[in-house]
Chain A
């Protein structure tokens, strides 16, 4: 009885699915899905190699500090970094007095209240504060950016496929629309308030090119601040903000795997020892 009912149910499922696949195939052939500009012209990120890559990866502190400088002088005008605190900067090689100074001199102040009146006010940041947002709220952010919302950057390299490589490619990927695209998809002309960038999912991004000229930032360590260099540095910085415990993880992992290899070898020998003499 079970087998008869099962057989009938099986025939029903198989019948429906084969009917569906045939109708699907017919409509696929007779009416193939139209190609889209996003599908044809979207590019995968360029390769990017950072010191933090791989199982033994460590942050290149010089580079991460340069990336922080790019964030501070360029990105921070619009993008928040709300999960990172000033105190965390000691992890990338800043000393405590330096961190204190950075917090104190930060262009944006931290929301507070006036201790006398209770009125909303702002105060200087301290190392214990998270990086203050450049906008009071989402509405203010959208109002200042033509209704686009600059995303928080704390987790950006973990919140996009290919992480740091994506950020680097996006920052260096601004270009004029290829004539081929306009010829094949005349309706896909980038709207006036947007910017063409083939690394962005729908090709048109609201963010204007943030890194426009070599030397936009002056590095104190003598590195030549080309646009590509600045983009790489800020990508490295955002790897750190997204995964600040990366070095501890790699270190612990190395020790754990070595320990487990030894323990498992001993376990294997114990197993062989116990089973010696028992044919199986």
Chain B
């Protein structure tokens, strides 16, 4: 599952030889994230985010396990048990703020990871499976984060649970039954809280398992790179260790600095004040909003305000919201341009940046109250979101004339156009000869 020139694991110490002959686990690690995995030499900092997402998952699991030792999943005491953690548990405030802000950091790095893939065409053959498994991880993350946000049993916890499970209630005929089944009752209560806690504890380990598949499928073709040109020979690669372990180590430091600044100096910046009010089924908050990482999807959900052909607006919104993620599963086949990297696709590059701005606008509108002008803006932005993936990308693949590709990674590196800078200048044609 690797290039022929990959280094082989040769344990020197007799103990390691003894272990290797009986359980080749060190060999597995060596080949996965050690010197045995050759990686393109021209990766830029956007290739750090996979490792950072893994680190974020690790932080969440460790802090989460300790928090679960002090938390009680019961509507009568859940809110107070969180405050008990904040006030009376040794360093409890640190654990809880790390867990809450760690979720945000996890989504930040995963969104950057996804947009890296979108720009550099990492989803294209032969890496479709990597992309699909990544989307599965993303969906699992969203489910886990949603259920985690319910656990403190504040106002937004309760009403968020009610709204999100209510989405399933929009399904014709069986919707209300499904909603009741999901919640274990007609409204969020102890049954819902307990099952959310149970699943919130389970799903991160499922995520870890899918990450293993994600990395496994990545290692079949090997990592992509900013030129999008496949590895041609040993001169194109360096061993993962020490080259990328060193680079990821530095990236991890930057990640932790930003995380620490948020955790220690603005821990409630990304939270909602209403979640410091205990859940009250009789008092609806003025504006029910999910956590910031759901805002773009929430904006798409709320963009549908008119019934069409007898289909209720709510159902359309639910279909569109789920559709906005499901369509990403078809992306490898929607965008069938043979050129991977956006650096060699001048038109694609422009539309990519429009998409980035579009998603940011959707996010802003999703966090804003459901009133004008936000609704109209999110309708236009949602229209572009769907148009980008379903109309623009397939057409671009046909109509666009890509720039000439470098002959190889090494050629690009030596000519100074490794593509390792994510430039927005669409006129920067590489000077490398067009051997493509």
Would you call B196 an interface residue if the criterion is a C-beta within 8 Å of the partner chain's C-beta atoms?
no
Would you call B31 an interface residue if the criterion is a C-beta within 8 Å of the partner chain's C-beta atoms?
no
List of B residues within 8 angstroms of A34 by Cβ: none
User: In whole Å, how far is A270's beta carbon from the nearest beta carbon of chain B?
Assistant: 5
Cβ-closest chain B residue relative to A160:
B273
For A6, give its contact among B42, B94, B382, B390 (CB under 8 Å): B390
Q: Which residues of chain A (226-280) have a CB below 8 Å from chain B?
A: 242, 244-245, 248-250, 252-254, 256-257, 260-261, 263-264, 267-268, 270-271, 273-275, 278-280
Q: Which residues of chain A (17-45) have a CB below 8 Å from chain B?
A: 17-21, 23-25, 28, 33
For A18, give its contact among B42, B372, B383 (CB under 8 Å): B383
Q: How far is the CA of A273 from the CA of B372 in the complex (A)?
A: 55
List of B residues within 8 angstroms of A252 by Cβ: 94, 264
Cβ-closest chain B residue relative to A39:
B371
User: In whole Å, how far is A99's beta carbon from the nearest beta carbon of chain B?
Assistant: 16
- The answer on a CB contact under 8 Å between A17 and B418 is no
- The answer on a CB contact under 8 Å between A280 and B42 is yes
With A14-B383, A264-B253: A28-B265 Cβ-Cβ less than 8 Å = no
Q: How far is the CA of A20 from the CA of B286 in the complex (A)?
A: 25
Would you call A113 an interface residue if the criterion is a C-beta within 8 Å of the partner chain's C-beta atoms?
no
Q: Which residues of chain B (364-404) have a CB below 8 Å from chain A?
A: 371-372, 375-376, 379-380, 382-383, 386-387, 389-391, 394
- The answer on a CB contact under 8 Å between A245 and B383 is no
For A21, give its contact among B333, B334, B376 (CB under 8 Å): B376
For A261, give its contact among B257, B267, B391 (CB under 8 Å): B257
- The answer on a CB contact under 8 Å between B308 and A16 is yes
Q: How far is the CA of A130 from the CA of B254 in the complex (A)?
A: 42
Q: How far is the CA of A209 from the CA of B382 in the complex (A)?
A: 47
Would you call A161 an interface residue if the criterion is a C-beta within 8 Å of the partner chain's C-beta atoms?
yes
Would you call B293 an interface residue if the criterion is a C-beta within 8 Å of the partner chain's C-beta atoms?
no
User: In whole Å, how far is A170's beta carbon from the nearest beta carbon of chain B?
Assistant: 14
Q: Which residues of chain B (72-116) have a CB below 8 Å from chain A?
A: 80, 83, 86-87, 93-94, 97
Would you call A83 an interface residue if the criterion is a C-beta within 8 Å of the partner chain's C-beta atoms?
yes
- The answer on a CB contact under 8 Å between B386 and A14 is yes
- The answer on a CB contact under 8 Å between B413 and A280 is yes
The A interface, classified by DSSP as helix, strand, loop or mixed, is helix
Q: How far is the CA of A270 from the CA of B244 in the complex (A)?
A: 11
Would you call A136 an interface residue if the criterion is a C-beta within 8 Å of the partner chain's C-beta atoms?
no
User: In whole Å, how far is B414's beta carbon from the nearest beta carbon of chain A?
Assistant: 7
The B interface, classified by DSSP as helix, strand, loop or mixed, is helix
Most buried by A among B80, B242, B246: B246
- The answer on a CB contact under 8 Å between A158 and B273 is yes
User: In whole Å, how far is B48's beta carbon from the nearest beta carbon of chain A?
Assistant: 11
Would you call A11 an interface residue if the criterion is a C-beta within 8 Å of the partner chain's C-beta atoms?
yes
User: In whole Å, how far is B310's beta carbon from the nearest beta carbon of chain A?
Assistant: 13
For B93, give its contact among A163, A245, A261, A270 (CB under 8 Å): A245
User: In whole Å, how far is B18's beta carbon from the nearest beta carbon of chain A?
Assistant: 31
Contact with A along B261-292 (1 / 0, CB 8 A): 10111011000011011000000001000000
Q: How far is the CA of A15 from the CA of B330 in the complex (A)?
A: 21
- The answer on a CB contact under 8 Å between A155 and B372 is no
- The answer on a CB contact under 8 Å between A10 and B391 is yes
Q: How far is the CA of A19 from the CA of B306 in the complex (A)?
A: 9
Would you call B305 an interface residue if the criterion is a C-beta within 8 Å of the partner chain's C-beta atoms?
yes
User: In whole Å, how far is A44's beta carbon from the nearest beta carbon of chain B?
Assistant: 14
Would you call B336 an interface residue if the criterion is a C-beta within 8 Å of the partner chain's C-beta atoms?
yes
Cβ-closest chain A residue relative to B245:
A274
Q: How far is the CA of A268 from the CA of B247 in the complex (A)?
A: 8
- The answer on a CB contact under 8 Å between A6 and B303 is no
Would you call A2 an interface residue if the criterion is a C-beta within 8 Å of the partner chain's C-beta atoms?
yes
Q: How far is the CA of A244 from the CA of B418 in the complex (A)?
A: 52
- The answer on a CB contact under 8 Å between B87 and A244 is yes
List of A residues within 8 angstroms of B389 by Cβ: 6, 10
- The answer on a CB contact under 8 Å between B333 and A2 is yes
List of B residues within 8 angstroms of A280 by Cβ: 41-43, 238, 413, 418, 420
Q: Which residues of chain A (142-169) have a CB below 8 Å from chain B?
A: 151, 154-155, 158-161, 163
Q: Which residues of chain A (49-65) have a CB below 8 Å from chain B?
A: 55
For B253, give its contact among A159, A245, A254, A260 (CB under 8 Å): A260
Q: How far is the CA of A151 from the CA of B252 in the complex (A)?
A: 43
- The answer on a CB contact under 8 Å between A16 and B246 is no
List of B residues within 8 angstroms of A261 by Cβ: 257
With A7-B390, A19-B308, A253-B264: A279-B414 Cβ-Cβ less than 8 Å = yes
Would you call A194 an interface residue if the criterion is a C-beta within 8 Å of the partner chain's C-beta atoms?
no
- The answer on a CB contact under 8 Å between A274 and B267 is no
User: In whole Å, how far is A207's beta carbon from the nearest beta carbon of chain B?
Assistant: 16
Cβ-closest chain A residue relative to B379:
A21
List of A residues within 8 angstroms of B305 by Cβ: 20, 24
With A19-B306, A24-B305, A267-B253: A13-B383 Cβ-Cβ less than 8 Å = yes
- The answer on a CB contact under 8 Å between A264 and B250 is yes
- The answer on a CB contact under 8 Å between A257 and B261 is yes
Would you call B320 an interface residue if the criterion is a C-beta within 8 Å of the partner chain's C-beta atoms?
yes
- The answer on a CB contact under 8 Å between A264 and B306 is no
Would you call B323 an interface residue if the criterion is a C-beta within 8 Å of the partner chain's C-beta atoms?
yes
List of B residues within 8 angstroms of A180 by Cβ: none
Would you call B429 an interface residue if the criterion is a C-beta within 8 Å of the partner chain's C-beta atoms?
no
- The answer on a CB contact under 8 Å between B323 and A13 is yes
- The answer on a CB contact under 8 Å between B257 and A264 is yes
For B372, give its contact among A16, A28, A254, A270 (CB under 8 Å): A28
User: In whole Å, how far is A9's beta carbon from the nearest beta carbon of chain B?
Assistant: 6
Would you call A201 an interface residue if the criterion is a C-beta within 8 Å of the partner chain's C-beta atoms?
yes
- The answer on a CB contact under 8 Å between B387 and A24 is no
User: In whole Å, how far is B80's beta carbon from the nearest beta carbon of chain A?
Assistant: 7
Would you call B338 an interface residue if the criterion is a C-beta within 8 Å of the partner chain's C-beta atoms?
no
- The answer on a CB contact under 8 Å between B260 and A16 is no
28 contacts between A and B (CB under 8 A): A3-B336, A9-B327, A11-B391, A13-B386, A14-B391, A18-B379, A24-B306, A24-B372, A24-B379, A55-B265, A154-B83, A155-B277, A158-B273, A159-B277, A161-B273, A201-B286, A244-B87, A253-B265, A257-B257, A257-B260, A264-B250, A264-B256, A270-B250, A271-B250, A279-B413, A279-B414, A280-B42, A280-B420
Those 4 A-B pairs whose CB atoms lie nearest each other, nearest first: A253-B264, A10-B390, A264-B253, A159-B276
